[in-house]
Chain A
Amino acid sequence: DGGITQSPKYLFRKEGQNVTLSCEQNLNHDAMYWYRQDPGQGLRLIYYSQIVNDFQKGDIAEGYSVSREKKESFPLTVTSAQKNPTAFYLCASRRTGSVETQYFGPGTRLLVL
C-alpha cells in the first residue's frame, strides 16, 4: 500500500521536554510538509521541504525543528520553546511537476501533561 504514515497517533509531552513526531511516505514524492491544526483555525504551515537536505520555515516555525535526510522521511521535533504545543499535527507530501495535490497522513495528536 502506498501512502503516508505518522506515528504515534497520540503523544504526551511533559514540561521542558522535546518530542519528535514521525512522518514516512512511500509515494516517491519530493516535497513534504508539516501542518498544525487547531480548532477553528484551519491548517497552518510549520515547515516544508522540497528536496532532501533542504527545508524552509512556514508561517509558524518558532519552537519547531525538522530534518530531511531521506526522501521518505520528514520528522518534526516540538521543542521546549514551543509554549502551546497541544494540537493535531498533520504531515503531507506532494509530487513535484504538474500535479499540485498534497496527500495527508492520519495525523498525530500532541497533548501536554
Chain B
Amino acid sequence: QQQVKQSPQSLIVQKGGISIINCAYENTAFDYFPWYQQFPGKGPALLIAIRPDVSEKKEGRFTISFNKSAKQFSLHIMDSQPGDSATYFCAASGSNDYKLSFGAGTTVTVRA
C-alpha cells in the first residue's frame, strides 16, 4: 500500500501560472518531506525539502506548505515556466528510517 498519496496525476498550466501538487500521509513517524523533480529519461533530483517544525519553506519559485495536523503537504510552483515541465514526486521518511516512501508522481506541463 502506498504510504504517501499524491494528486493530481497530471496538470497543465499556462506560462506564468501557479502549479499546485498535494500529498497526504498516514505515518506519524514521518518527519522529513522532500520533493523531487524528474525529466524524461533522467534520474530524480532533489528540489526542496521540509521538516514538520515549520509550516512553509520557500526556495526561489518553489514553496512547500506543510500542515502537520492534517498530515498533508503541498508544492507550489509560482510563475511556472516551460522549463518546469517535468514529473514531480513527493516523499517522506522518518528520522530513524533509511527509506523514503514516494508518491506516485505528478506530470506538470507548462504551456507557453
By a beta-carbon cutoff of 8 Å, the part of chain A in contact with chain B is 4, 31, 33, 40-45, 48, 50, 58, 90, 92, 94, 96, 100-107, 109
Contact A42 B2 (CB under 8 A): yes
- Asked if B93 CB lies within 8 Å of chain A CBs, one says yes
Query: Interface size bucket, B side?
Result: 20 to 34
Contact A100 B44 (CB under 8 A): no
* Those 10 A-B pairs whose CB atoms lie nearest each other, nearest first: A104-B43, A42-B104, A42-B102, A43-B102, A100-B32, A104-B44, A42-B105, A106-B43, A107-B43, A101-B46
* 22 pairs from A and B in contact (CB 8 Å cutoff): A40-B104, A41-B104, A42-B6, A42-B102, A42-B105, A45-B99, A45-B100, A48-B99, A58-B99, A92-B43, A94-B98, A96-B98, A100-B32, A100-B34, A100-B49, A100-B93, A101-B34, A101-B46, A102-B46, A102-B100, A106-B43, A107-B43
The binding surface of chain A is classed by DSSP as: strand
By a beta-carbon cutoff of 8 Å, the part of chain B in contact with chain A is 2, 6, 9, 32, 34, 36, 41-46, 49, 89, 93, 98-100, 102-105
Contact A43 B93 (CB under 8 A): no
- Whether A43 contacts B89 in the complex (CB less than 8 A), given A48-B99, A94-B98, A100-B32, comes out as yes
